[in-house]
Amino acid sequence: MKNSALAGFVVWTLLLLSVEVRAVAQTPRELGPTDFKAYAPQRSSARISEFSGLPVPRYSSLRYDKVNGRSGPSLDYPVSWTYERLGLPVVIVRESQEWRKIRDPQGDEVWVHRRMLAGERTAITTTRGAMYRDPDIHAGALATYQAGAVVTLGECGDDWCRVEAEGRKGWAPKQQLWGAEDLQIAPPAG
């Protein structure tokens, strides 16, 4: 009788520990500027995809709050990443008929089904900052944001972009937004 009670205690303890570890692993961490990777260091001409008729590379965003990224362009490939961030900006770097190879803000590349991507242009903040009434640092801050906030992207000038987040509209410095910069296109790997 004592052995079964001890075994039950051990099983419950292990279950509780596994739940605690899972919760810790899913806790978001503070992002910093070095967590975000620029698309590529060199320029070449963009190409038009035969599958979508759109330029590759180009920005897109995740359509759902849970998207599986796979190691190849079909359901036969294993899931490499599960993204849990509605609106996360990504760069489409390659296409097949139904699948898109994307690069996320941290520089990881996976394949997702085309239906998982939205046409809405978003950006992610790379540092703490403020949203301003006008494209001027002296215009008065409307709101502040932490690194890692997803914003809907509007028009961009050389230094500022129109953004919207949580129902507020304003301007943010372009240098603080991953997904707002012009794409720098790397030549295909040989």
For residues 148 and 125, the answer to whether their CB atoms sit within 8 Å is yes
Contact 33, 76 (CB under 8 A): no
Euclidean distance between CA atoms 185 and 183, whole angstroms: 6
Q: What integer best gives the mean pLDDT of the chain? A: 82
For residues 71-94, average pLDDT:
97
| Residue 45 CA neighbour count, 13 Å, CB half | 3
Q: Can you give the pLDDT at residue 188?
A: 46
179 close to 151: Cβ distance less than 8 angstroms: no
Q: Is residue 90 part of a domain?
A: yes
Per cent of the chain over pLDDT 70 is 73
The encoded tokens of residue 125 equal 């903040």
The whole domain housing 138 covers: 29-190
Backbone angles phi, psi at 17, to 5 degrees: -65, -40
In a domain, 18, yes or no: no
Q: Which one, of 183, 190, 181, 179, lies nearest residue 60 by Cα?
A: 179
C-alpha closest to that of 164 among 173, 151, 155: 151
Question: What are 144-164's pLDDT values in tens digits?
Answer: 999 999 999 999 999 999 999
DSSP structural state of residue 34: G
Average pLDDT over residues 19-31: 36
**Would the pLDDT of 23 be above 50?**
no
The pLDDT of 73-81, averaged and rounded, is: 97
pLDDT band at 183 (very low <50, low <70, confident <90, very high): confident
pTM beyond 0.85 = no
Domain membership flag for residue 24:
no
Residue 39: CATH number of its domain: 2.30.30.40
Counting the structural domains of the chain, the total is: 1
Helices assigned H by DSSP within the chain = 2-26
Tell me how far apart the alpha carbons of residues 39 and 97 are, in angstroms, rounded to a whole number: 23
